[in-house]
Amino acid sequence: MSTNSDKVKIIFGLKIRQLRLDQKFSLSEVAEKSGLSISYLNEIEKGKKYPKTEKIMSLAEALHTDYDSLVSLKLSKQLEPIAELLNSNILTELPLEIFGVEPSDFIELMSEAPAKISAFISTIIEISRNYDMRVEQFYFSVLRSYQEMYDNYFPEIEEAAQQFRKLFDIAAITSPNATLLADILQNFYGYHIEEFTSETHPDLITIRSVYNPKTSKLMVNGDLSPEQLAFTFGREIGYQFLHLKNRPYISSVLEVNSFEQVLNNFKASYFAGAILINKNVLIDRLTYFFANPKWDGDMMLNIMRLFNATPEMFFHRLSNLMTSHFKINNLFFLRFNNQVEDDLFYLTKEMHLAKLHTPHGTALNEHYCRRWVSLTILKDLEKLQQQEGYDVEKVLCKAQISEYIDTGNHYFVMSLAKPSPPNKRMNSSVTIGFAIDDNLKGMAQFLNDPALARRKVNETCERCGAVDCLERKKPPLVLTQKIARERIKKAIASLEA
């Protein structure tokens, strides 16, 4: 709902529709009585058209009401919840169009049972407030759903990336470096690139880049790795090549004004991954990797090092191609952060194409299972740093087959862990997990390798009934409460019997 006139159209259309339904008139009957066409009436009811005065008078007569009641912005008690929604920012914050839903369709649905749907939406908002969910988090949740709908593969961005690689004569290059991409930004798009440090801009030291559209100046953090720098430049090229005007201007999305900014940031990032990682080369290497009868983490690292890509970008690109070219759709992606010498782990990014949503980030105040390779690999990296010193280029690769205790679901899970500059006390792991189904069994020849670790895992300590777990950090409080509730239910059922 971008303007006040949109709200006026919708309110008017709702009134017409409600009056018609109350009097059990069909569209054709109202059309005949008012002299308007059925298609025009349909457009009015959907809030797309607002008729002229004489036509409003005809509608008032046909629906046995008066002109003033129709043009008034006051709605009946039945439709009051819709008025509240129209006067809020909810409909502007819901990117309905990317899910193939027209705002008018949503309004039509609401008009069928306005109180119930309004109450449902209000409940969702209240839950989000209770959990201190910011609007940015809401937008990112919607973005995840968008990615999951399309199996995280977007052909139109892939095609644009191929066009770019041909246009700038890098189609045959496995992975363009930061220097080449910086030259394109400066010489073709008129960017001015400036490096900053903790001495020159101490308040920006946790930010990777800042762009000023007025001066076309891109300020980049001097502590970035070559791969991070290449991604930063690739994403800026993505904004320009894809003509994405509404965008955030800092690398970390601290605050956004609309879902469009979040979506455009995703598109530019996807574009960067597509130009930095030649998909034909990656598909070829992955084919050999999965045909290997032995699990080989070093081989996976060697494939990653063919490209100027961070582990996170590499696994994101892997998820694009696993769904589109290998038809492996039951997968999830996770990113964990862990502060050095701290036993807390933060799930900072997730995507679930498997629709099983385990693990997931809703257990904000619970302790994730310490048997996950996503977490153990971070502690392995920390030990290595204590022994050998900090190395920004150090990357570990480990894998395991995880069997979830409660569901029996099996996953093949790969994790990469490395330092997370510019914060030298933060390490990050990225994980991609594949449901072990017939598709994966037919492709991954190393699943039966005895050297591949196998572990029974669960979601969080608070929900796990594994009594012999040496890694447990908290007692199973949530599980205990659940069992107590089930006992009460059984006791009540026995009394009733």
- The per-residue DSSP string of 68-88 comes to HHHH-S---GGGHHHHHHHHS
Confidence of residue 82 (pLDDT cuts 50, 70, 90): low
What pLDDT sits at residue 360? 56
Domain 315-483: give its CATH code. 3.30.450
Q: Does 199 have pLDDT greater than 70?
A: yes
What pLDDT sits at residue 474? 84
Q: Does residue 91 or residue 483 have the better pLDDT?
A: 483
List pLDDT tens digits, range 145-173.
888 888 999 999 999 999 999 999 998 88
Instruction: Quote the tokens at residue 2.
Output: 């971008």
Rounded to whole angstroms, how far apart are CA atoms 356 and 408?
A: 12
Instruction: Please give the average per-residue pLDDT across 313-325, as a whole number.
Output: 95
What pLDDT sits at residue 80? 66
Kindly provide the residue ranges of all beta strands, DSSP E only, lying in 113-242, ordered along the sequence.
Answer: 192-196, 209-212, 217-221
Rounded to whole angstroms, how far apart are CA atoms 234 and 230?
A: 6
Same fold for the pair 149-276 and 315-483: no
Q: Does 1 have pLDDT greater than 50?
A: no
> Computed over its alpha carbons, how large is the radius of gyration of the chain?
28
How is the beta sheet containing 217-221 ordered, strand by strand?
Answer: 192-196, 217-221, 209-212
- Do residues 333 and 349 lie in contact, with contact meaning Cβ atoms separated by under 8 Å? yes
Among residues 11, 41, 24, the alpha carbon closest in space to that of 114 is found at: 11
CATH class given for the domain over 4-133: mainly alpha
Strand partners, 396: 417
What pLDDT sits at residue 178? 96
Q: Does 207 have pLDDT greater than 60?
A: yes
List pLDDT tens digits, range 269-278.
999 999 999 9
Rounded to whole angstroms, how far apart are CA atoms 247 and 254?
A: 12
Which range, of 78-82, 200-204, 301-305, averages the lowest pLDDT? 78-82
**Half-sphere exposure for 31 (CA within 13 Å, toward CB):** 12
Q: Does residue 100 or residue 174 have the better pLDDT?
A: 174
Q: Does residue 109 or residue 115 have the better pLDDT?
A: 109
Average pLDDT of the residues of the chain: 86
Of 9-13, 386-390, 464-468, which has the strongest mean pLDDT?
A: 386-390
CB neighbour list of residue 404: distance below 8 Å, 6 or more residues apart: 358, 410, 411, 456, 457, 458, 459
Instruction: Please give the average per-residue pLDDT across 457-479, as a whole number.
Output: 84
Task: Report the percent of the chain where pLDDT is more than 70.
Answer: 84
Scan for tokens 């892997």, then name that residue: 318
What pLDDT sits at residue 441? 95
Q: Does 440 have pLDDT greater than 90?
A: yes
Domain 149-276: give its CATH code. 1.10.10.2910
Q: Does 137 have pLDDT greater than 80?
A: no
Domain ranges of the chain: 4-133, 149-276, 315-483
Rounded to whole angstroms, how far apart are CA atoms 82 and 11?
A: 9
Pairing of strands 217-221, 192-196: parallel
CB neighbour list of residue 296: distance below 8 Å, 6 or more residues apart: 289, 446
Q: Does residue 126 or residue 425 have the better pLDDT?
A: 425
What pLDDT sits at residue 61? 92
